[in-house]
Structure 1
């Protein structure tokens, strides 16, 4: 990034930062503000801070916790900033202009850092299904020194037959450590993104369950690890049972549920079918439920009741015992009967049915002196922390025809249940999955929205893990991708599933790819000679790379300015020059302006009059490429004054 070489007022011109937030620097600043006496010579004095904390500080004595080789390095990995950006892929998107969802292809550690500026404290639910560390799962080959460079060279990490070179064999001495080092920095960054009342749900099996729970207690806090939920994942039959040996067959996985702040978070009530509804006891109760509400959408006082059999005859249905049973269960939300309730018996109303709220806040339906009960209330019970009703059979039927997801695909029912527990339908909640895999989370969000009228949004992140024709487990996915002329990667399969689901539910998404910055950066090399160093410094006077695409520049600037992935963007001409407007151009009465106006054409130097016309449109901020001034310091000084006159914040890139 170019530095401001002018003697202008630095309070009125700012430079767009080229990297993600540096959490080490931010933490030090927060400590200096809270405990100024712990600052000495511009740095934090750890001994003084420990002295001030007294008994609240942990000493060097042995203490309980999770420790493993590489932990300190993993902690630093979460703190290091990145210069990476996201490159828009409009051709791989659906309904780009109106989309409220995003799909990102790239290493999730770098992507999580890129997302920090805008999405810090904005994500209501994170769901992830990370590698289970079974000895064959891919472990992300992190190079914490230069994450984006490592990612860009990552494609060489597979052999020609598709064998993953970065697996984590159980025979390795750091079998568990490698897995913990992979996940720890990602969870640290993920926590930053959660809203105060947000949740993270993590699928895992026995291999790393104990380590994961202990890690979550450290990162999220002991009280914020809410539940460890066993989820039945297969049946006790067939091949699984034929391999019974020294251990019992595994038929379950787990969902570890944590929150950002348990004092502010609250799970929604979710009802599920009662486990005893199909064991023969149901028929004993069904005989009491013989009335059905004909017009359930009307107010309770206007409900019309008739017998279940009369309603069936009216619809031309048979009234055999089995048919009546089936009809009652299928219409349980409006099949009712009356029962005694002492608190309601003395009440009287002008209508046969009335809605009543008791002094304790309980709502009843009064029905001619008695209480109305609904069959649906009997058939359902409140969700508990053992889930045995989610089938994993025939999950390939949920992918809308996308082939190649061999293992690890999660049922839509599981994900929709987690959504129902932790999000609100109409609150624009954002759901993030940074191990997107088969794309089930995005599919589940769209499906849940269609069922409850919600407006939840999603962000999916998936590494472009290559698929190979010679690999037996990857062959089907490779063939599917090549037939559709897609890159043969897991991310291509995931994005294609999301695209097909978006077509089904009339939704859209913006597709992005992790990329290196479009702006020049200082990358010193050992042993560099004076002549090369001099030329490098000259080259750095320009701000953007000469071959940078304007749309790529725009997205990077927006991300580093803390804007979302789905901002409203439109191009306009002002005084014969092209500009981009981001956000709403006109603020409502009493509201602050929020729109950005950007000029990103480094090849055409604007005149003072043209810049004055642009700033006169009254954006909140005006952003212009440093290269657009083409070395004209007088022009730059003039635009500073113009922006100050119109109360517009000026930024250069």
Structure 2
């Protein structure tokens, strides 16, 4: 089913009710669902995340309440997915085992795609037993048989060069004399001039065809021949950077401190205690949308709005038109909260009427204007108020919406296409 409105969405409301309302228009359209649900820790996050009908539950009762909370949401998430869609469920060790069993029940164990490890921290000298520096990201597919491999951009020692104005991955070591061990100092590359003698005329014809098509390039290599003074040529295989991928590794190292730096860059530091890093979410989103720049990404525990900014960053890389659907309940920010490591942060006071990330909503669609534009400042400038760290947000959803607005401004300032976003409340959606 095709969504008649191509805008991204940020919806404030209870995610169960909102998902039910959105499902008719979005059933089977979502490529990636990423959720970072409450971890059932009681105090490690800016929102209150302990579950139970009356008072704090412990042991099996606590797990049962959390599972009862999660099950209908996962069942709805499955309905949103395309047949080749995937769900990333980010969780810590407190509920990891229970979450995995629940996911197997909802998606079918045969649709489990495994578990990624997010290495999020290095420190933790005050830890009682050992430093818990990682979380888990469990993965399921709507239909595992249809899910494409998870990929990421090739990293060093891969070498990139700009050739004829285009960024290309250059591989000068793919065509070899033979495969196996080489002695130190022995040239293993098969030079163009030696192809026919070593590999036969058919291989020479194949290489010539790829040279003619621009897939290969010749480059002088080694020392000149003492007799002729001429140099031989290595065969370079060229791959456009946007197509140069390798399989995603199961351990992803992105520090959670980067998430705070992401908010600092938008003038929103010091308000939200544990935002996920944009780079982590970009890696996850791109791993399944590398060749799918029109994909839809859903996050119904949107929190600080990291997923939206990650989608924008993915679009900035390849000029894509990925959309995001975010849902966040209007839960109050705490006036103070403590991390499991004992750190306490004070949340901000009541937000004033003016925001630096100016935005104008017209007919329900956000048109993002550069910050400060309404104050007569030059168009195209983005003003980030250092006082953003103490700007007040009554609810998490308020903070999320403002983060999306500012990220959209920064995206356009970086050369990205305008970001069309609708900001809706639960009451704006069809009855369920």
TM-score, normalisation: structure 1: 0.46
- Conserved in 1, the CA contact under 8 Å of 2:161 and 2:168? no
Question: Is 1:248 matched with 2:110?
Answer: no
Are positions 1:395 and 2:259 aligned together?
Answer: yes
For the Cα contact (< 8 Å) 2:256–2:277, is it kept in 1? yes
Aligned counterpart for 2:94 among listed residues 207, 212, 216: 207
1:461 is matched with 327
- Judging changes above 3 Å, is the alpha-carbon distance between structure 1 residues 456 and 179 closer, same or farther for their aligned structure 2 residues? same
Q: Say yes or no: does 1:112 pair with 2:19.
A: yes
Bigger mean CA offset, 226-235 vs 461-470: 461-470
The answer on 1:495 being equivalent to 2:401 is yes
> Deviation at 1:120?
1.1
**Higher alpha-carbon Rg:** 1
- Output aligned runs, 1:368-517, within 5 Å: 370-372=234-236, 382-388=247-253, 390-399=254-263, 400-424=266-290, 426-469=292-335, 475-478=346-349, 484=355, 488-505=394-411, 506-515=418-427
Q: Tell me the CA shift for residue 223 of structure 1.
A: 1.4
Contact 2:273–2:345 (8 Å) recurs in 1:
no
1:111 aligned counterpart, secondary structure? helix
Q: Give the Cα–Cα distance (whole angstroms) in 2 for the partners of residues 418 and 407 of structure 1.
A: 22
RMSD: 3.9
**Pair 1:134-2:41 in alignment:** yes
CA deviation after TM superposition for structure 1 residue 429, in Å: 1.3
Cα distance in 1 for partners of 2:59, 2:101 equals: 22
Counterpart position of 1:650: none
- Asked if residue 101 in structure 1 is aligned to residue 8 in structure 2, the reply is yes
Partner Cα distance (1:229, 1:501) in 2: 27
- The superposition leaves residues 538-591 of structure 1 with CA deviations (integer Å, 9 ceiling, x where unpaired) of xxxxxxxxxxxxxx6xx64xx88xxxxxxxxxxxxxxxxxxxxxxxxxxxxxxx
Instruction: For residue 477 of structure 1, report the CA deviation from its aligned partner.
Output: 3.7
Question: CA separation in 1, counterparts of 2:268 and 2:58?
Answer: 35
Unpaired runs of at least 5, structure 2: 179-189, 197-203, 220-231, 339-343, 356-390, 412-417
Q: CA deviation at 1:514?
A: 0.9
1:113 & 1:349 partners in 2: Cα distance?
55
- Structure 1 Cα separation of the partners of residues 138 and 58 of structure 2: 27
Look up the match of 1:149: none
- 2:108 pairs, out of 195, 208, 221, with 221
Question: Is the 8 Å Cα contact of residues 153 and 245 (structure 2) preserved in structure 1?
Answer: yes
What does 1:592-607 correspond to in 2, within 5 Å?
none
Q: Deviations for 1:261-297, whole angstroms, at most 9, x for unmatched residues?
A: 01222124323535xx6xxxx9xxxxxx9xx967344
Would the alpha carbon gap of residues 168 and 376 (structure 1) be closer, same or farther in structure 2, given more than 3 Å must change? Answer: farther
Aligned residues: 343
Structure richer in strand, relative to its length = 2
Match of 1:354 among 211, 232, 242: 211
Q: How does 1:138-287 map to 2 (within 5 A)?
A: 138-139=48-49, 169=56, 171=58, 174-235=61-122, 237=123, 240-243=124-127, 245=128, 247-273=129-155
What is the CA deviation profile of residues 172-192 of structure 1, one whole-angstrom value per residue up to 9, with x for unaligned ones? Answer: 761111111111110011111
Q: Using a 3 Å threshold, how does the CA distance of structure 1 residues 372 and 391 change in structure 2: closer, same or farther?
A: same
Contact 1:202 1:255 survives alignment (8 Å): yes
Measured in 1, the distance between the counterparts of 2:261 and 2:239 equals 31
Measured after TM superposition, the shift of residue 476 of structure 1 is 3.2
Q: Distance in 2 between matches of 1:179 and 1:126?
A: 19
TM-score by length of 2: 0.68
CA contact (8 A) 1:269 1:382 kept: yes
Q: In 2, distance between residues paired with 1:477 and 1:186?
A: 31
> How far apart in 2 are the matches of 1:227 and 1:185?
22
Q: Which runs of 5+ in 1 are unaligned?
A: 1-96, 143-165, 283-288, 299-330, 358-362, 516-551, 561-653
Cα distance in structure 1, aligned partners of 2:207 and 2:307: 50
Aligned-partner Cα distance in 2 for 1:456–1:294: 26
Deviation at 1:117, TM superposition (A): 1.1
Tell me, in whole angstroms, the C-alpha distance in 1 between the residues paired with 2:278 and 2:91: 17
Separation (CA, whole Å) in 2 of partners of 1:481 and 1:185 = 37
Distance 2:76 2:175 in 1: 54
Distance in 2 between residues matched to 1:98 and 1:219, nearest whole Å: 29
